[in-house]
A and B are shown apart, each in its own frame.
Chain A
Amino acid sequence: MDWPQAALLLLGGIVALMALGVPVAFAFLAINIVGVLVFMGGMAGIDQLVSNASGTVTTFTLVPVPLFMIMGELFFHTGLAMRVFDALDKCLGGIRGRLSYLTVGGGTLFATLSGSSMANTAMLGSLMMPEMLKRGYKKHMIMGPILATGGLAMIIPPSTLAVLLGSLARIDVGALLIAGIVPGLILAFLYVITIRLQIAHDPDAAPGYAAARAPLSEIVKAFAVNVLPMGLVVFSVIGLILLGWATPTESAAFGVLSVVVLALIYRALTWEAIVKSLTESLAVTAMMFLIILGSSTFSQVLAFSGATSGLIGWATSFDVGPSVMLLAMLLTLIVLGMFMDQLSMMMLTLPIFMPLIQSFGLEPIWFGVIMLLALELSLATPPFGMLLFLMVGVGPKGTTLGEVARAASPYIACSLVVILLLAVFPEIALFLPNLMR
């Protein structure tokens, strides 16, 4: 079989099965079975598939994924996240758009403490949306900041997605986590500017209301009691990696320990919170790891069939520079993100992208950060971006997909600006990882 036919069978087959609603993990397993039978032959190939599948998830590099999830869930269910929000709330006073700013500020802070964009978005939605609706905020001022800031947890460490990307693409996980800090903070800053511009353009979008700023002593006390101790968590995760004292896996375990210690100190650790946190973490872990398990042989079958080398040969035959190739890869991710989840996109594209990155001599950590940003923004792109549908579900009554997409568009532009900045100035992402070396 020629490589175009092989690529059509494997890549086309997986996309077709996904589009037909087959659960992603089982779609990958089904195509792997077909691929193995066609290209590797007989039961021996199937047994190799089973052997690969069991080996893929029994690796130490994937361990931070569930641990970062547990951190975020514990923050949410013990009420520690609420304390951070309350402290920030005291500082803002009655400025116009305060709840939108609070969403970005609190969400960014929470992104440094939690590895899950889902937990982040869920928390922001449940915490901020009712109050914003009550205060008469227009829909785009409610949904835009929540949707955008929720996704910051994908980029700012601890990020489960960065761990997955690092371990699947064989990029240094610790360096990739650290590389996301500065781009993530720049993105949060751009979100604040976006809100300011939106309010300047339409002051009624976020009505001002009398909310007295707390006295300085109260603000200082709230920060000292509710925000500063969270530094222990940030140090346990980011600090330990940055100082080279712990691997990402070890720092993730210490991250969980630090949240447990804080929850104990605040007398917020309940059996119910532990069970809920473990249950929700298990749900996401099993879901993601089964996709990894299912797609473990996919890249091998793709390579064995000649599709990988054929596609790479075809892509490099155009004699284009690295920037055009990067643009093509970004466009691919954005198109896939219109109807696919992040992990499926990674499993589908990494077997092609990583060899391309190597052949163009590009820095994998830098590309990893750009890919994380592309994955983040692709989920909010119409017509089928998954976050859009999530927001229609949890948004104000009568919200349409078009309204969510319009609310998301200025924040998508922010992500594009950061990607552009990274393309021109790679050091934005690379200078912190370089400090570790």
Chain B
Amino acid sequence: MAAIADAPMRPLIRLYDFLIAGFAAVGAASLALSTILIVADVLLRNFGLQPIQAASALVEYAMLVATVGGSPWLVRRKGHVAVDSLIAQLPSPIHRTLLVGGMVLSLAVCAFLGWRAAMLALEAVARGSVDIRSIILPGWIVYALLSAGLFLCATEFLRLLIVRDAPIEAQHGSGA
């Protein structure tokens, strides 16, 4: 982001970069914690001790944390799956225009659904709704997580579109 960074903006940009990396770190940590929780739960159960009641609910939520935590960082890494092989055959200006169009569409989709998820989170807070799993969790958490992840994806697409040192390229993640 250095290319567009004026001096007063730099701390803000550093904070934003830290946020993207921090979200990814939390996502990765959630995977490690899931492993530990499951192993501890199974061992406790088999040794006749009290299992961790919250384990399955927390592990299920960890999957969402990993998804929304990793997704904005993945946009930056251009690690989402996209089929570039067809449009790559087109002349360079058309290829570039289609890529930009795809990014604008992705940005709009993320911003729109991020906004709706935020509204649902606020609604869940107002109604005091809960999510009943192996433990009872406040209903707003999933929407808030989703909203944060989608908004950060939107800002990352925006960053790819406006920052000069981030070349316009297709996302090139691959499968399992």
Contact = CB atoms under 8 A, between A and B. Distances in A.
A343 B38 CA distance: 26
B116 A46 contact: yes
- Classify the secondary structure of A's interface with B: helix
A161 interface: yes
A164 interface: yes
B1 interface: no
Contacts of A49: 113
A386 B86 contact: no
Contact of B80 (A23, A249, A285): A23
B106 to A, nearest CB: 4
Contacts of B38: 63, 249-250, 253
Contacts of B171: 23
Contact of A284 (B34, B119, B142, B176): B176
Nearest to A67: B35
B75 to A, nearest CB: 8
B81 A164 contact: no
Contacts of B87: 19-21
Nearest to B55: A60
Interface in A45-66: 46-47, 49-51, 53-55, 57-60, 62-63, 65-66
A286 B146 contact: no
Nearest to A288: B176
B56 interface: yes
B174 A253 contact: no
Interface string B50-64: 000000100111011
Given A22-B106, A282-B66, A290 B80 contact: yes
Given A46-B116, A58-B61, A283-B77, A253 B35 contact: yes
A246 B41 CA distance: 12
Interface size class of A (residues with CB under 8 A): 35 or more
B120 to A, nearest CB: 6
Nearest to B63: A57
Contact of B174 (A62, A282, A341): A341
Contacts of A160: 176
A289 interface: yes
Contacts of B34: 63, 66-67, 253
Interface in A21-53: 21-26, 29-30, 33, 43, 46-47, 49-51, 53
Contact of B117 (A50, A55, A60, A286): A50
B42 A254 contact: yes
A108 interface: no
A49 B115 CA distance: 13
Interface string A246-258: 1001100110110
A342 B120 contact: no
A187 interface: no
Given A54-B142, A60-B59, A285 B85 contact: no
A286 B42 contact: no
A29 B109 contact: yes
A250 B44 CA distance: 13
Nearest to A342: B175
A43 B105 CA distance: 19
A66 B101 contact: no
Contacts of A117: 175-176
A281 interface: yes
A340 interface: yes
A47 B176 contact: no
Nearest to A62: B63
B176 A161 contact: yes
Interface of B: 24, 27-29, 31-32, 34-35, 38-39, 42, 56, 59-61, 63-64, 66-67, 69-71, 73-74, 77, 79-87, 98-99, 101-102, 105-106, 109-110, 112-113, 116-117, 119-120, 142-143, 145-146, 170-171, 173-176
Given A22-B82, A63-B34, 18 more contacts: A17-B102, A19-B87, A21-B83, A22-B102, A25-B81, A26-B102, A57-B63, A57-B67, A63-B59, A66-B34, A69-B176, A253-B39, A257-B39, A278-B28, A282-B31, A286-B27, A288-B175, A342-B175
Can you list the 7 inter-chain pairs with the closest CB atoms, starting with the nearest?
A286-B70, A253-B38, A26-B106, A22-B102, A289-B67, A278-B28, A54-B142
13 contacts: A21-B170, A22-B105, A24-B82, A47-B120, A53-B113, A58-B61, A59-B63, A118-B176, A164-B176, A257-B35, A285-B70, A288-B176, A384-B86
Interface of A: 17-26, 29-30, 33, 43, 46-47, 49-51, 53-55, 57-60, 62-63, 65-67, 69-70, 115-118, 154, 160-161, 164, 246, 249-250, 253-254, 256-257, 274-275, 278-279, 281-291, 293, 339-344, 379, 384, 386, 389-390
